[in-house]
A and B are shown apart, each in its own frame.
Chain A
């Protein structure tokens, strides 16, 4: 008996150690630093609520968090719509497994290039004299270049959607592939139209996949700073940018406090989502 419990602890030790060093320790460190104090030229260990007090009373914080949530919400809606459609097409309209796998891999090919490159390649396309504007002008759709195509919320969200849709496709496709095809036939047998089958059978059964995709996309967008910087031309801010700014100014305690608030926000968000859908059977 005693021997068994020792072996159990030993077996659990390596993973616990990894988690401790790479997950728990950094978070503890950030929380600790978030209570430190800072002047223009130095940081000093302390236990004070100044950073939080400043953040939580500043109007800017709320605006930036709201903006971040707006990006997350719109990106979530777009990636869900596109991701669900792509996964649905792959899972239910492509008949052979070979083609399903081939097309699925095709979806992932763009992800073999770097994030930044995929993001930056939108710039010449969307720019004032870019391909999009010049095409629209030559087609006579518009007379003047559209200013909102680049360095705007539009371009930020476009890049987010482009970058993260696959994170929605993969879990949804995975869940859909587990839906017994005879359920679709049973629905048809019961007189359900295509839309009714989608609404009453496929969507409820795909919920866990949607939820996992949602967690991916929301976490990625909430924590992003580089996409917002490049695609908004530094004209928009989100929480990531705020943290980055603080770090640039060597205001580590303030950055840490913002990070803690962001972490809490994301955890609350995901915790709320998990109350609605049970994803355990998918993991």
Chain B
């Protein structure tokens, strides 16, 4: 039995009547990992998170933390803490009281509560706003308060349900840097549910791509991005072109596509769109089989050898850049 606080899902299943929301998924999160559950809405990622947290009953299988089966324990006894999508701060309590709520429930005296809550608020840089009500806080401040509230129980695993979705794009990028920094400082496992691939790539050490109640592919973030195994994963992570070739489907990263003369290339194509993106230029081309591919060229390469709309081109790539996909 391992003493480390690894989180493990074993054949975890959630059924609602006849619909299967999570279909016997198994995965091992090493202690101290920042993991993202990534997938489109309705793929079962939120149900998975809620089963880990204990807000959803487990239909079959189990969740273990440090070798201890926690799948039937009440939420507060699991060693997990959850940060909710809309933060779920108690609107009638001040920030400090929100943070100290779990201590109050545990019967801790007022003095200790205030000290502990103060420490947590300092950790998330919210000391000055301790007496505000949640309604008087901005989105980012609410998130910090919710983080402090979740962390005060000293969880071994922090569960985050789409924590950044309620923020505007600018704040989202700032808060995600803060999340990452906090996770590094605390060294505990973060399991973060999101449908944004950029968020997952930016934050996660490991990603678990889910689709249709199953894990489509999981592993180190870079390993998954470098070698997607299915068309779904390649498409969902973005920056990949999924192409139907005579010998099966392949995925090629859009920055690995090269343009050559039409007759010397692996595939002929016609340019249908050119989009200037500053550092890059995105070229969309149609290839045989009525498929569309997007190539990302560094702006310098493009403007040294500009292309026009409707121009016939040849598409080429290094043999190593193509990944065969399971159909």
Whether chain B is bound by chain A comes out as: yes
Q: Report A's interface with B, CB cutoff 8 A.
A: 180, 182-183, 185-193, 196, 200-201, 204-205
**A192 close to B90 (CB less than 8 A):** no
CB distance from B182 to the nearest CB of A (A): 18
For B53-82 the 0/1 string (1 means CB < 8 A from A) is: 111000000000000000000111100011
Q: How many residues on chain B are close to A (CB under 8 Å)?
A: 25
**B90 close to A183 (CB less than 8 A):** yes
Closest A residue, CB atoms, query B161: A182
B88 contacts A by Cβ under 8 Å: yes
CB distance from B40 to the nearest CB of A (A): 22
Give the contact stretch, choosing among B101-109, B110-118, B232-240, B265-273: B101-109
**A188 close to B74 (CB less than 8 A):** yes
If the complex has contacts A180-B88, A182-B84, are A191 and B55 also in contact, measured as CB distance less than 8 A?
A: no
10 A-B pairs closest in CB distance: A191-B76, A190-B102, A186-B88, A182-B88, A192-B105, A204-B92, A189-B75, A182-B84, A191-B105, A190-B101
**B104 close to A200 (CB less than 8 A):** yes
**A190 close to B92 (CB less than 8 A):** no
7 CB contacts below 8 A, A to B, read: A185-B55, A185-B82, A186-B89, A191-B76, A200-B101, A200-B104, A204-B92
CB-contact partner of A186 in B54, B84, B92, under 8 A: B84
Closest A residue, CB atoms, query B56: A185
Residues of chain B lying within 8 A (CB to CB) of residue A182: 84-86, 88
CB distance from B21 to the nearest CB of A (A): 16
**A200 close to B105 (CB less than 8 A):** yes
**B76 close to A188 (CB less than 8 A):** yes
Q: Report B's interface with A, CB cutoff 8 A.
A: 53-55, 74-77, 81-82, 84-86, 88-92, 101-102, 104-106, 149-150, 153
If the complex has contacts A180-B86, A185-B55, A186-B84, are A191 and B153 also in contact, measured as CB distance less than 8 A?
A: yes
Residue among B77, B82, B88, B106 with the most chain A CB within 10 A?
B88
**B90 close to A186 (CB less than 8 A):** yes
Closest A residue, CB atoms, query B99: A190
CB distance from B172 to the nearest CB of A (A): 20
CB distance from A190 to the nearest CB of B (A): 4
CB-contact partner of B102 in A180, A191, A193, A204, under 8 A: A191
Residues of chain A lying within 8 A (CB to CB) of residue B105: 187, 190-193, 196, 200
**B53 close to A205 (CB less than 8 A):** no
8 further interface pairs, Cβ-Cβ under 8 Å (given A182-B85, A191-B105, A191-B106): A186-B89, A187-B101, A187-B105, A188-B74, A188-B76, A189-B102, A189-B150, A205-B92
> How many Å lie between the Cα of A11 and that of B303 in the bound state?
66
**B88 close to A190 (CB less than 8 A):** no
Closest B residue, CB atoms, query A188: B75
CB distance from B108 to the nearest CB of A (A): 11
Closest B residue, CB atoms, query A201: B90
CB-contact partner of B76 in A190, A201, A204, A205, under 8 A: A190
**B106 close to A189 (CB less than 8 A):** no
> How many Å lie between the Cα of A190 and that of B98 in the bound state?
10
**A190 close to B149 (CB less than 8 A):** yes
Residues of chain A lying within 8 A (CB to CB) of residue B91: 205
> How many Å lie between the Cα of A180 and that of B105 in the bound state?
20
Residues of chain B lying within 8 A (CB to CB) of residue A185: 55, 75, 82, 84, 88
If the complex has contacts A196-B105, A200-B104, A200-B105, are A189 and B90 also in contact, measured as CB distance less than 8 A?
A: no
If the complex has contacts A189-B81, A191-B153, A200-B105, are A183 and B75 also in contact, measured as CB distance less than 8 A?
A: no
Closest B residue, CB atoms, query A193: B105
Residues of chain A lying within 8 A (CB to CB) of residue B84: 182, 185-186
If the complex has contacts A180-B86, A182-B86, A205-B92, are A188 and B153 also in contact, measured as CB distance less than 8 A?
A: no
